[in-house]
Amino acid sequence: MKTTCSKILFFVTEDWFVCSHWLPVIEGAKNAGLEVVVVTRTNKHAEKIQQHGVRVIPLEVSRRGSNLFREFTTILRLAGIYREEQPAIVHHVAMKPMLYGSLVSHLMRVPHTVNWVAGMGWLFVSNNWRAKILQVVVRKVLGVLLRGTLVIVENKDDRAIIANIGVASEHVHLIRGAGVDTLLYNTSPQLDGVPLIVLPARMLWDKGVGEFVDAARQLQQCGVKARFVLVGDPDPQNPASVPKHQLIAWQKEGVVEWWGRREDMPQVLAQSHIVCLPSYREGLPKSLLEAASSGRPIVTTDVPGCREIVRHGENGLLVPARDVAALAEALRRLIEDEELRRRMGEKGREIAVAEFSVERVVSETLDVYRQLLC
């Protein structure tokens, strides 16, 4: 297979995920002189990606993957794209692109394959017995497919998992998330009035949405004055998606407000007093990077990804996953202590600027590409 030595192909499942996380890296690759192609499922954001001077190749890919014929067709279509594009580097983001893309890149003899582990996803946190069986299978398949590729992980826990499935340590790089624009997400004084607690995420059960609602209900029943807001939409492609009717029911009950997906997150965070993400597992959640950069204290779970950002007692509070009582108590502590919120917010901003700027992430990622192309 002949290759275009200056071409990189990104394979990401959804165009909205490209826009929310990967445009700075794509722009950086383009500015470094690489021709960039993005393969993704297109919905509403293809034009925005193209505005950055890159080509977009639509590929229908289901993250549920229950139809074997459709999955096989997707792999064949992907193989055709790789054969036609002949990239020097393919960069896969998240589980299905890693699985399908690594198989195809091996068969098509792509010179360099980069797999970015953006968290281990629903499969690795679900208690569903089918998920547990599939997890064993996926681990074995990943162990075969990822050998010989370069793997980027976002936290130390995922690095240990990748090492345990047989990827050599010299092929594993730690780059801590997609980074945050510290100019766009800047600090602002907390507004007066009733504290506003925001959970910014896709509306998934494994983001801790149910625990957040239960904690809000407990605090309200105890007379704590605060507003609790869910910011994000359901994700029907994800098995853990919270049904829309459930979100509406919670809002009608008055326990939480549901604002849906917002395109003005800097303004949303500026209104907030506390940001909360009681997730079961993450890669490295960009929503918490944005919260820290905005100078907001964080309540989150002591799980992979989340604890990379929050230092307990410094810029936020860590609680056990799935523990509603502990979550409610941590929220109460910050709701009732304005000075603690201010100190933690200042520390969070300091950490975001020093460790998680988007410029740093882009630089580290481009270094990986340069090493491959040398």
Pair 273, 188: CB distance under 8 Å: no
Pair 11, 101: CB distance under 8 Å: yes
Domain with CATH 3.40.50.2000 in the chain: 4-179+357-373, 196-355
Local structure of 189: helix, strand or coil:
coil
Pair 110, 90: CB distance under 8 Å: yes
β-partners of residue 91 are 10, 114
Domain at 4-179+357-373, CATH from 3.40.50.2000, 3.40.50.970, 3.30.465.10, 3.30.230.10? 3.40.50.2000
Return per-residue pLDDT of the chain as tens, 374 residues. Answer: 444 568 999 999 999 999 999 999 999 999 999 999 999 999 889 999 999 999 999 998 876 666 788 889 999 999 999 999 999 999 999 888 999 999 999 999 999 999 999 866 555 656 666 666 777 777 788 888 898 899 999 999 999 989 888 899 999 999 999 999 999 999 999 999 999 999 999 999 999 999 999 999 999 999 999 999 999 999 988 889 999 999 999 999 999 999 999 999 999 999 999 999 999 999 999 999 999 999 999 999 999 999 999 999 999 999 999 999 999 999 999 999 999 999 999 999 999 999 999 999 999 999 999 999 97
Q: How far apart are CA 306 and CA 281, in angstroms?
A: 8
Q: What is the pLDDT of residue 66?
A: 64
Instruction: Say what the pTM is.
Output: 0.90
Q: How far apart are CA 256 and CA 279, in angstroms?
A: 18
Q: What is the pLDDT of residue 120?
A: 65
Q: What is the pLDDT of residue 166?
A: 86
Q: Which CATH superfamily is domain 196-355 in?
A: Glycogen Phosphorylase B; (3.40.50.2000)
pLDDT, tens only, 177-217: 999 999 999 999 999 999 999 999 999 999 999 999 999 99
Q: What is the pLDDT of residue 148?
A: 86
First-last CA distance in the chain:
19
Pair 219, 332: CB distance under 8 Å: yes
Backbone angles phi, psi at 247, to 5 degrees: -65, -40
Structure tokens at 189: 């004084």
- The residue count for the chain: 374
Q: What is the pLDDT of residue 138?
A: 75
